[in-house]
Amino acid sequence: MSITRVSRLLGIEYPIIGAGMIWASGWRLASAVSNAGGLGIIGAGSMRPEVLREHIQKCKAATDKPFGVNLPLLYPDIDQLVAEVVSGQVPIVFTSAGNPKTWTGYLKEKGIIVVHVVSSAVFALKAQQAGCDAVVAEGFEAGGHNGREETTTLCLIPQVVEAVSIPVIAAGGIATGKSMLAVMVLGAEGVQMGSRFVASVEASSHEAFKKAVIEAREGDTFLSLKQLTPVRLLRNAFLGEVLKAEASGATKEALAALLGRGRAKKGMFEGDMTEGELEIGQVSASLHDILPASEIVRQVWEEFNQTLRNPIKFQ
C-alpha cells in the first residue's frame, strides 16, 4: 500500500520511520522496523566505519525490505562512513547535523535517496535546494540533539510544509497513532519516532536506560548544553552538574570539558544512569512499556487508522 509520497519514495508499507539513534538503533532494531513494514534506520553516529559495515551486512541478512542509515554530517569519519554506505549499497540515507550541500549531490549520483533532518523552515528550504528528496522536521520536544530555535513540532510542521514542496516527515513527540494522525493533518506525510523505539526489545541501548525511559515522568527531560550543541537529556546527576555549571555562567570550553568524551556511550550503552549522558524526548513520560518493534509499528498504524475513521469523540 502506498499511502503518501513518503511511503512511495522509501518503498515502504506504512510511513512510519524508526529514527537513526546513537547507541540505540543498530541492525537489530533497523531490520525489525523494516520487516514490520516501516523504515528502519541504522544510527551510524556511534559507529566506526568497520562497525557500520558489519551493521549494514547484518541488516541486509535480516531483511529484504528497504532500510536506511543515518549519517550525522559533522562526524569526523564522515568520508569513510559515506564510503561504507555506498559500497554497502544502502538505498536510503538520512543526513543530520551539518550542511546538506556537502554530500547530497554525491549520494544522489550513487542512486541513494537522501532525506535531511532539520529543525526550522529555513533549513528545510536549504535541504530542498541542496537536492534532498524529503526532510524530517524535528521539533523541540524530540530526544537527542535539537535546533536552537526551540520550535515545537505542532508549530514547526505547518511552517516547513508551507516552505518546501518536497515531502515532510514529522519528528519529535510522536509515539502513538493519534499523534501520527495529528501531524499528518498538519501536512506531514510520514513520521519518524525515536524515543518510542528506544523502549523496544530490539534497541541496542542498555536495559537500565530502557527502564529509566519508561519510568520517566513529566518534566524529567531538559534541553541543555545550548552553548555546545543543544541536546535533550533525561535528568540524572550528570545533567544536574551541567545545569549547575550553566547557571553559574560556565564557558563553552568548561562545558565541553565537563561533557568530556564517551558520556553518551557510558549512559545509553553501558547503563551508567548517574554519570552518563541519556538522550531522550519529552514523550518518554507517556511510554510505559518496552515492546517488540513490530508491535510498536502495528499499534501505531492500527490506532492511526481507527482514529482516522472516527477522529473525535466529544463528551
Ligand X SMILES: Cc1cc2nc3c(=O)[nH]c(=O)nc-3n(C[C@H](O)[C@H](O)[C@H](O)COP(=O)(O)O)c2cc1C
User: How many CB atoms neighbour CB 288 within 10 A?
Assistant: 11
User: Applying CB under 6 A, what is the total number of residues that bind ligand X?
Assistant: 31
Whole-angstrom distance, CA of residue 197 vs CA of residue 213: 11
Using CB under 6 A, pick the residue from 281, 296, 300, 304 that binds ligand X: 281
Contact between 144 and ligand X by CB under 6 A: the answer reads yes
Whole-angstrom distance, CA of residue 15 vs CA of residue 288: 24
Using CB under 6 A, pick the residue from 36, 82, 198, 223 that binds ligand X: 198
Q: Are 228 and 251 in contact (CB under 8 A)?
A: no
Q: Where in 22-81 is the site for ligand X (CB under 6 A)? A: 22, 24, 43, 45, 70, 72
- Smallest distance, Å, CB 213 to ligand X? 9
Residue 115: helix, strand or coil by DSSP? Answer: strand
Q: Where in 106-125 is the site for ligand X (CB under 6 A)? A: 117
Single-letter residue type at 294: S
- Smallest distance, Å, CB 268 to ligand X? 6
Residue 60: helix, strand or coil by DSSP? Answer: helix
- Angle at which helices 153-163 and 121-129 cross, to 10°: 40
- Smallest distance, Å, CB 244 to ligand X? 23
Using CB under 6 A, pick the residue from 171, 180, 223, 259 that binds ligand X: 171
Q: Are 157 and 179 in contact (CB under 8 A)?
A: no
Whole-angstrom distance, CA of residue 75 vs CA of residue 258: 20
- Smallest distance, Å, CB 138 to ligand X? 5
Interacting residues with ligand X (CB under 6 A): 19-22, 24, 43, 45, 70, 72, 96, 117, 138, 141-144, 171-174, 192-196, 198, 268, 279-281, 283
